[in-house]
């Protein structure tokens, strides 16, 4: 969970630091269709959405791994 949170903070920080990155024609077209101006605001919002998804994914994976390890430990302890 700590690694996921660190990744989230780093990803958002990097997105804000470079003001959304270099705009390609495809990114500019997406920004224009979203009605969010300027392009840097759209790019940062898009980066925040991606980072939020990754954070949620890491949390879900962590819970599933914890449940799996807990089950294995419990089954191993009951056989001893």
70, containing H or E segment = helix 39-79
Instruction: Give the pair of three-digit tokens for residue 66.
Output: 């914890």
Q: In the chain, where are the structural domains located? A: 2-79
pTM summary value: 0.43
pLDDT band, very low/low/confident/very high, at 49 (cuts 50, 70, 90): confident
With pLDDT > 70 as the criterion, what percentage of the chain qualifies? 72
- Residue 15 CB neighbours (<10 A): 20
Measure CA 31 to chain center. Answer: 20
For residues 21 and 27, give the distance between their C-alpha atoms in angstroms, rounded to a whole number: 10
């Amino acid at each position: 969970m700590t690694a996921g949170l660190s990744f989230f903070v780093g990803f958002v920080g990097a997105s804000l630091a470079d003001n959304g990155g270099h705009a390609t024609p495809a990114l500019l077209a997406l920004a224009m269709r979203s009605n969010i101006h300027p392009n840097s605001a759209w790019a940062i919002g898009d980066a925040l959405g991606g980072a939020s998804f990754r954070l949620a994914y890491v949390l879900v994976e962590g819970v599933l791994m914890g449940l799996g390890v807990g089950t294995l430990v419990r089954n191993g302890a009951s056989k001893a």
